Chains A and B, each alone.
Chain A
Amino acid sequence: MSESQTPQPPQSPDFKREFRLYPYQWITIPLLFIVPILAIFGLFDANIVDVRASGDNVELRVEYSTRYRYYMDVPAYVFVTNTSDAALPVITVRFDRAFVDNFIEIQFTPDTNAVTERWYEVDLEDVQAGETRMIRVDLQADDYGTQRGTVAVAVGETAVADVQLDSFIYP
């Protein structure tokens, strides 16, 4: 008996196939779909932004991520430019511990010169007129939630500029 001649059991009746949902599914299914769509658009990924401030003789620019996932490594970069016509012997960049201490595996390059109750301090010495120096801060997200803090620049003892950092760490 060939396969085409094989007797077949009665087939299930055909019916009009329609897309139907329960009322609660009209709300919850789209909500489910929002999650991967937001992920595709990068809402749960790092979001690198640039914040700037300038003061007397110094321009400060910080490149950092406003979003981290738990244990995600995204370094922050701080650029300090001497906008004066003369060399500055010491520019001190201060990193707020209220922000930085929410991360682990913290590494400053160049290294810190001092750690106080409020700040991590990095001194940039002998910055020539027009010169830009960079500080890299390696950060691995650790504490969930919104974390805020300041990066401030001082020339000598005078604070000249600061920017606010605001990051959200997803669990």
Chain B
Amino acid sequence: MDTVIRVIVIYLVIMIGLRILGKREFGQLSPLELVALLMIPELVSASLNLNQPSLTNGIVAVVTLFCLVFLTSAFMHLSKKVEVAIAGEPVVLIANGELLTKPMNTERVTPDEVFSEMHKAGVDSLDQVKWAILESDGKIAIVPSQATSQSAAQEGGVGKG
């Protein structure tokens, strides 16, 4: 019974805390959010463990984490420098069909990974790619060249007709 009440209380505290902070905080895994999501289980597990079961400790720890997440998020929003320092900047991996080996090596991204993302974006050769960008959240965004986009649009139109 005691454990059930503890789980309910912790669950409500986390749920309300996430709701208060808003969608931005936990919508994607930026470094800030990843840290928060990794820490929450560590902090609350102590409160659910009956060998060291202070619920107060767990709640104070999690709420403190929420406050830190909110403060960091607010500073990141107010200052581009802080945002870049914490979340990093996007890195161009392909520019106008050319693989940029230096940033790829620095970011430890292989051509296979880039091509995999290109295939997901519906392109299969480098000359069809205008930009491939390693975004701050670690995902690779593919921007097809204008010719590729137009031909895809036309194919879509023919297909529909």
Contact = CB atoms under 8 A, between A and B. Distances in A.
B64 A17 contact: no
B66 A9 contact: no
A153 B30 CA distance: 63
A1 B94 CA distance: 12
B60 A36 contact: yes
B66 to A, nearest CB: 6
> What bracket does the count of chain B residues touching chain A fall in?
20 to 34
Contacts of A25: 20, 22
A171 B52 contact: no
Contacts of A39: 60, 64
Given A3-B103, A17-B78, A19-B77, A171 B92 contact: no
Contacts, number: 71
A32 interface: yes
A9 B22 contact: no
Contact of B53 (A3, A44, A70): A70
Contact of A171 (B55, B64, B131): B55
Interface in A27-81: 28-29, 32-33, 35-36, 39, 44, 69-72
Interface string A8-31: 110000000111001011001100
> What bracket does the count of chain A residues touching chain B fall in?
20 to 34
A19 B74 contact: yes
A99 interface: no
A126 B109 CA distance: 83
B132 to A, nearest CB: 10
Interface in B1-55: 17, 20, 22, 52-55
B151 interface: no
B54 A7 contact: no
Contacts of B130: 9
A29 B52 CA distance: 29
Interface of B: 17, 20, 22, 52-57, 59-60, 63-64, 66-67, 70, 74, 77-80, 92, 95-96, 98, 100, 102-103, 130-131, 133, 143
